[in-house]
Amino acid sequence: MEDKVVSTAAEAVADIPDGASVAVAGFGISHRFPSTLLEALQDQGARDLTVYCNGLGSQGAPTAQLLAENEQISMLVASFSSRPGPPTLAEEQILAGTLEFEVVPQGILVERMRAGGAGIPAFYTEVGAGTKVAEGKEVRHFGGRPHILEHGITTDFAILRGYRADRFGNVQFRGGSRNFNDSFAKAARTAIIEVEEILEVGELKPEEIHLPGVFIARVVRTTTTVDVSSLPQRSARSADSHREYGGKPALSRAEIGRRAAALLEDRSIINLGAGLPNQVVNYLNGRDVVLHAENGMLNYGGFADIERADPDFHDAGGNFIDVLPGVSFFDSVTSFEIARGKRLDAVILGAYQVGSNGDLANWMHPGRPGGGIGGAMDLAVGAKSVIVTMEHVDSKGRPKLVQECDYPITASECTSVVVTDLALLRRSEHGRFVLEEVAAGFTAEEILELTAMEVDVAEDLGVMQEAW
């Protein structure tokens, strides 16, 4: 039986040549990147790399940004090239034309990897149809709806991170940190994994093996220690912050979340987008509502304080969370099977704009290179109901409810309900939005003045604060 353990990370990545394609695991801006291997690859210095990943992670941390900072990447294929905050060196390279970028929906990225590893050259999907990611791709209709052709991906190398492995390369993951590792390993000709503990063959029980050793070529011990409390987190405005319109207070961010939470039915399975939609978590205590996360988790709870944060227990937005009895963990392929397989009752997402026909735009902001799709395209297509939470106007006072989106859309005609800091609107069976509720102290006329789409007004107009 082959012993796949190598003594150092430098030895593990020594043969990655210039021009190689490398899949890099890691989730969000900071969680469970293969930091030891990334530092070794940075020192090794291979250039002109094609890198596949969810995103490069946070600058200034031991993430895949190390490779961009060292100008080793010529092509990036990812779900995120930009995130809120100051531009990264990778974004500057994209703008300068020294780094080519292809944006791929998160669920389609792992599915393309899964397909490539399984010997499937291509497949059709509804995800991305009618959006910028469909440009130049073959389109066929199934069930009367357009689907685009996506090609399987194989790579020269994958660098991964696990919890434990034995000398044969059998791997165990922990919590929500499995995510991309399975599909990336299967797509790679040579998969290299770093783990916290290396065991003798037989010390891992068969049911503890999440990824068989046949997919792993090299195993190395993790030596880069990351303090949980030092991990960069998404910046978030205070839940109590709110805008004023005409000198009158609108709903706070927390209250938007509270109103959206009240829309959810008991015994439903829900996915929450990052940012404002996460406010919904605070109003689900005691509710029979199951939360799903794209990184591979079902049935998690509220946010965990940093003092009791576990690096493997986090949601798709990077927030540390508690887990509930009956929680399950799985890889991102399974997670998006749940999403695209119509097993989510609702998804709650933020948005830059919502069009009068239900079009959703939330992944690309003018002025930033590329964009950040994440799992939004998969979720918007797969969920039975799409609820959007957002402020009624943007930071410059421009309406976000528009007749037609001029931002690139995430999915067409998908939005069911919109909850803003001023109003609740529901899309009727006739395709038009109906203003059903307004924030206390505001009139329908005031809301319509701040709305750039044609809407109907319900005869029995309600007050948002009276609905929770």
Look at strands 297-303 and 401-402 and give their pairing.
Answer: unpaired
The total of other beta-carbon atoms located within 10 Å of residue 459's CB is 6
Of the listed 69, 150, 255, 294, which one is catalytic?
294
Closest to 320 measured CA to CA, from 301, 299, 348: 301
Please report the DSSP string for 33-79 in residue order.
--HHHHHHHHHHT--SEEEEES----TTSSSTHHHHHTT-EEEEEES
Angle between helices 106-117 and 332-340 (to 10 degrees): 120
Q: Which two tokens stand for residue 275?
A: 């940012």
> What's the CA angle centered on 452, arms 396 and 84, to 5 degrees?
40
Rounded Cα gap, residues 181 and 32, in angstroms: 10
CB 348 within 8 A of CB 399: no
Q: In what order do the strands lie in the sheet with 164-166?
A: 171-172, 164-166, 197-199
100 assigned to active site: no
The total of other beta-carbon atoms located within 10 Å of residue 84's CB is 12
CB 44 within 8 A of CB 14: yes
DSSP 126: S
> What's the CA angle centered on 325, arms 320 and 328, to 5 degrees?
70
Catalytic residues: 294
